[in-house]
Amino acid sequence: MPLDRQISMEEAAIKYSGELDKPDGISDVTGPCGDKMGFSLVVSQGRISAIKFRATGCSVTQACGAVVAFTADQLSLSEALFISQGY
């Protein structure tokens, strides 16, 4: 990861946790263990200009939400599609 994109897990959790007031899109998923995660995002000119996550579950689920939101922030929608479970 480039140095200008590095951020601590705690900083990511603080910056990206919550919900956006007027999102362009939302998603919700429940994992096989019962943990729940959702994302809300705003798209401007084909790029994710704002993203927030909310998660109910273990610390790993919380961390995953923060990492995905951090990774997706400012990506184009087509680039964001390449974020996978294997990340």
Alpha-carbon distance of 37 to 4, in angstroms, equals: 27
What residue segments make up the domains of the chain, in order of their start?
3-80
The pLDDT score that the predictor gives to residue 11 is 82
Alpha-carbon distance 59 to 67, whole Å? Answer: 12
Q: What is the dihedral of CA 59, 79, 70, 41, to 10 degrees?
A: -90
**Rounded to whole angstroms, how far apart are CA atoms 56 and 21?**
19
Question: Looking at domain 3-80, does it have CATH number 3.30.420.10?
Answer: no
Total-model pTM? 0.82
Residue 27 corresponds to which amino acid? S
Tens of pLDDT, residue by residue over 31-45, are: 999 999 999 999 999
